[in-house]
């Protein structure tokens, strides 16, 4: 196939289409169907105190799930800089992208076999590997952004990726919602079978649509010719980029701000379904509808905030989103399952979150890309971006789980996240304006 030039519409669309493929994982598996399914399964074999047995100890189901995700993010944080350094040195970003995609999609499909207490270990193991597959692939996917789009295109291109992702994942979530709520329409009588089928569908969707992106994404853009000791060279590449961060003050401060906002954003995304189910007592239909609302609203949100950033700048726009995120944390803190119409408050909160979710994710990615120095080491630089996010998630998961253990409530865990948005807001002021980043 003819090589596509940087900035071409076909290349940009191919890159964005991987978002269409992979976004069903964070929506259906990380946020909507699987956390709710896991919660219901855990409740079915929990003891009278609500704890479940795993590895010879009793666990709060939410805390166990929380810590399982934290382990997966720690593993990604450890391995991705090494792999990305090797990928940059050998020019094999596409191969690494394919490998992590395959690992993630197969692991997601294996969640089908989680249908009892005896298969809890399999569910947790597959949760770890699916998370590694998704987040590992995102390192190399994000690293393509400066190679497929010029700096002046990157805000819109980054937003386009998230818009594709939201649109594709909404389609599959709607079908999953129908399948889970009306299994009799499909001749399904086992109450666990419908959600388990959705896990298989997610894996097939992810792997299948990714092939479209693979056909056009380039490999070895800079024609690297690695020597035999390329693994050692990968470590040297990583060390070189690490040292360069100290020379780029704006990039360093942005990574610090990104760390703190990621603690809040990613923890909320991962725990929203369980919060609504366990803390507010909302039924599955209400929870999935709220998550669906979030995804739909995120599409115009990503577009409108990308246009706003053209007028007032990326950093100012990001500060606005941080204020909104912090406000949502306070609203969630005061919600109570005994309040009249608590489900409507949850819907409103979902609309607000959806509006800033796409904006925050797309703007952080494009702003970081603009701040990068002239380099061929895009995967290595984006691995630092990814590691920053993963360590932030680990911290968020630990704080969330620890506060649940101490207080017996998720509300204080949510309130604590507002602190991290506030710190990120302050740190962003330390980044001075440049030609492409305002």
More confident residue, 372 or 238: 372
Give the mean model confidence (pLDDT) for residues 280-303: 79
What's the pLDDT at 210? 95
Q: How many CB atoms lie within 10 A of CB 175?
A: 13
Q: What are the pLDDT digits (tens) for 149-158? A: 887 787 788 8
Q: How many CB atoms lie within 10 A of CB 121?
A: 12
Ramachandran quadrant class, 142 (left: phi over 0; alpha: psi -120 to 50; beta: rest): alpha
Burial of residue 229 (number of CB atoms within 10 Å: 0-12, 13-18, 19+): exposed
The answer, yes or no, to whether residue 173 has pLDDT greater than 80, is yes
The answer, yes or no, to whether residue 11 has pLDDT greater than 60, is yes
Give the mean model confidence (pLDDT) for residues 338-358: 81
What's the pLDDT at 359? 83
Kindly report the CATH number that applies to the domain delimited by 12-218+230-428: 1.20.1250.20
Q: Give yes or no for a contact between 198 and 46, defined as CB atoms under 8 angstroms apart.
A: no
pLDDT tier for residue 122 given thresholds of 50, 70 and 90: very high
Most confident of 32-41, 110-119, 341-350, 427-436: 110-119
Mapped onto helix, strand or coil, the DSSP state of residue 56 is coil
Among 49-53, 223-227, 350-354, where is mean pLDDT lowest? 223-227
Give the mean model confidence (pLDDT) for residues 203-211: 96
Return the bridge partners of 59, or none: 52
Q: What are the pLDDT digits (tens) for 12-59? A: 998 999 999 999 998 888 877 888 889 888 888 888 777 888 888 888
pLDDT tier for residue 435 given thresholds of 50, 70 and 90: very low
Q: What are the pLDDT digits (tens) for 304-323? A: 888 888 888 888 899 999 99
The answer, yes or no, to whether residue 381 has pLDDT greater than 70, is yes
Give the mean model confidence (pLDDT) for residues 90-98: 80
Give the mean model confidence (pLDDT) for residues 141-154: 81
Give the mean model confidence (pLDDT) for residues 423-429: 90
Alpha carbons 138 and 169: distance in angstroms, whole number: 16
Give the mean model confidence (pLDDT) for residues 53-68: 85
Alpha carbons 6 and 11: distance in angstroms, whole number: 7
What's the pLDDT at 436? 47
Give the mean model confidence (pLDDT) for residues 148-168: 83
Give the mean model confidence (pLDDT) for residues 213-225: 70
Give the mean model confidence (pLDDT) for residues 258-273: 84
* Residue 53 phi, psi (nearest 5): -95, 130
CA dihedral 409→415→420→423, nearest 10 degrees, is: -150
Give the mean model confidence (pLDDT) for residues 161-189: 88
The answer, yes or no, to whether residue 76 has pLDDT greater than 90, is no
pLDDT tier for residue 390 given thresholds of 50, 70 and 90: confident
Give the mean model confidence (pLDDT) for residues 156-176: 86
Give the mean model confidence (pLDDT) for residues 165-186: 88
Describe the chain by its helix, strand, coil percentages, rounded to 5: 80, 0, 20
More confident residue, 77 or 235: 77
User: Across all residues in the chain, what is the average pLDDT?
Assistant: 82
The answer, yes or no, to whether residue 282 has pLDDT greater than 50, is yes
The answer, yes or no, to whether residue 183 has pLDDT greater than 80, is yes
Closest by alpha carbon to 315, among 438, 155, 157, 158? Answer: 438
What's the pLDDT at 66? 81
Ramachandran quadrant class, 384 (left: phi over 0; alpha: psi -120 to 50; beta: rest): alpha
Q: Give yes or no for a contact between 66 and 396, defined as CB atoms under 8 angstroms apart.
A: no
Q: Domain locations in the chain?
A: 12-218+230-428
Alpha carbons 243 and 254: distance in angstroms, whole number: 16
Give the mean model confidence (pLDDT) for residues 404-423: 85
What's the pLDDT at 60? 84
């Amino acid at each position: 196939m003819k090589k596509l030039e940087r900035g071409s519409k076909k290349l940009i669309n191919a890159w964005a289409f991987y978002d269409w493929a992979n976004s069903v994982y964070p929506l259906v598996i990380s946020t909507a169907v699987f956390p709710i399914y896991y919660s219901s399964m855990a409740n079915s074999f929990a003891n009278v105190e609500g704890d479940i047995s795993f590895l010879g100890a009793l666990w709060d189901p939410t805390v166990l799930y929380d810590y399982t995700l934290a382990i997966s993010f720690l593993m990604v944080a450890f391995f991705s800089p090494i792999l990305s350094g090797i990928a940059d040195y050998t020019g094999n970003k596409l191969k690494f992208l394919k490998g992590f995609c395959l690992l993630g999609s197969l692991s997601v499909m294996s969640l089908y076999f989680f249908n009892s207490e005896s298969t809890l270990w399999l569910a947790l193991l597959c949760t770890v590997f699916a998370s590694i597959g998704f987040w590992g692939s995102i390192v190399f996917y994000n690293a393509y952004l400066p190679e497929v789009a010029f700096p002046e295109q990157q805000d819109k291109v980054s937003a386009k990726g998230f818009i594709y992702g939201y649109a594709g994942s909404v389609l599959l979530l709607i079908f999953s919602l129908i399948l889970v709520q009306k299994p009799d329409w499909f001749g399904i009588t086992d109450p666990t079978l419908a959600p388990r089928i959705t896990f298989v569908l997610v894996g097939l969707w992810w792997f299948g649509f990714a092939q479209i992106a693979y056909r056009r994404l380039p490999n070895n853009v800079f024609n690297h010719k690695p020597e035999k000791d390329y693994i050692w060279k990968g470590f040297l590449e990583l060390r070189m980029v690490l040292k360069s961060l100290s020379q780029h003050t704006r990039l360093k401060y942005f990574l610090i701000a990104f760390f703190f906002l990621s603690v809040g954003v990613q923890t909320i995304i991962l725990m929203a379904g369980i919060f609504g189910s366990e803390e507010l007592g909302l039924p599955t239909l209400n929870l999935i509808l709220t998550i669906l609302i979030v995804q739909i609203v995120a599409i115009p949100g990503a577009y409108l905030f990308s246009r706003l950033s053209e007028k007032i700048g990326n950093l100012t726009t990001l500060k606005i989103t941080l204020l909104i995120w912090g406000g949502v944390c306070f609203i969630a803190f005061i919600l109570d399952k005994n309040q009249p119409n608590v489900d409507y408050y949850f819907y409103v909160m979902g609309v607000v979150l959806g509006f800033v979710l796409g904006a925050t994710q797309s703007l952080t990615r494009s702003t970081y890309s603009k701040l990068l120095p002239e380099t061929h080491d895009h995967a290595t630089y984006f691995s630092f971006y990814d590691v920053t996010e993963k360590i932030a998630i680990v911290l968020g998961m630990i704080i969330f789980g620890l506060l649940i253990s101490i207080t017996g409530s998720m509300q204080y865990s949510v309130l604590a996240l507002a602190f991290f948005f506030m710190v990120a807001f302050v740190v962003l002021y330390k980044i001075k304006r440049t030609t492409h980043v305002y």
